[in-house]
Amino acid sequence: MQSDDVYKTDNSELRVRGTIIQFEAAFMQHSIQHYPQFRQIKTLLEEARRGIFFSSLSDPDIMGMLDEFPRILGFDQIAGLLLLLQRLSVCAGRDVLASPMYQEVFPTLGNTRIEKIISYINGNYTRDMGLAEIASMAAMNPAAFCRYFKENTGKTYVQYVTDMRIGYACKLLALNSLSISRISTECGFDSLSHFNRLFKQVTNYTPSQYQRYILK
């Protein structure tokens, strides 16, 4: 990250500072993943993998909490972090920076089977690829495959394919060279209405809204 040259001058009014709060990826992982009280924080952390920009902070206390955090010690630091995450998770005016096409690096630990599965999906997600086909490729029955895929990626098979397709759609919408109907077909959706519904579900925008937003 690099600042504009104007911020490198001696003008004190232009000086900026940041607060970095680090915590392990496994921090309260079980509670965040399984307890409904953490649902909003879970969503925030999932979005954070693709980067989040807060265009505005509707909660005036958040900046104060960030300023105070370096001076908090002990248990209060853990409680303060959870409270900060909760406030951010319900804050309006946040935008996810990267599209779902952004590739996560799954901790496969040399697991060639899951690597083979991911590679196959990534090369075929724009066509009609049923669960039976991908399960057969992995030499598993569909039920066992679904459990295996979720355990190794943190996503269901359908969720992963949907994210890949929506990510590709975001790329095509940004190019602005195809109609939305054509993009729907190119990305592997069987109907425009299905595409519109899933696109809104994943991005919080309709395809046309997203295109206007990204091209403005």
Domains, the chain, with CATH or none: 5-96 (no CATH), 112-215 (1.10.10.60)
For residue 46, is pLDDT > 90? no
**Confidence at residue 18, expressed as pLDDT on a 0 to 100 scale:** 75
Dump pLDDT digits (tens) for 48-66: 877 787 877 777 788 889 8
**pLDDT of the residue at 180:** 96
* Predicted pLDDT of residue 25: 77
Better-predicted residue by pLDDT, 207 or 109? 207
Q: What is the pLDDT of residues 59-106, one digit of tens each?
A: 778 888 988 998 999 999 999 999 999 999 998 778 776 666 555 555
State the average pLDDT for the chain: 85
The rounded percent of the chain whose pLDDT value lies above 90 is: 41
Q: What average pLDDT score do residues 205-211 get?
A: 91
Give 141-177 pLDDT, tens digit per residue: 999 999 999 998 889 999 999 999 998 898 889 888 8
pLDDT at residue number 177:
85
Residue 2 is predicted with a pLDDT of 46
**What does each C-alpha distance from 161 to 89, 102, 125, 156 come to in angstroms?**
26, 13, 6, 9
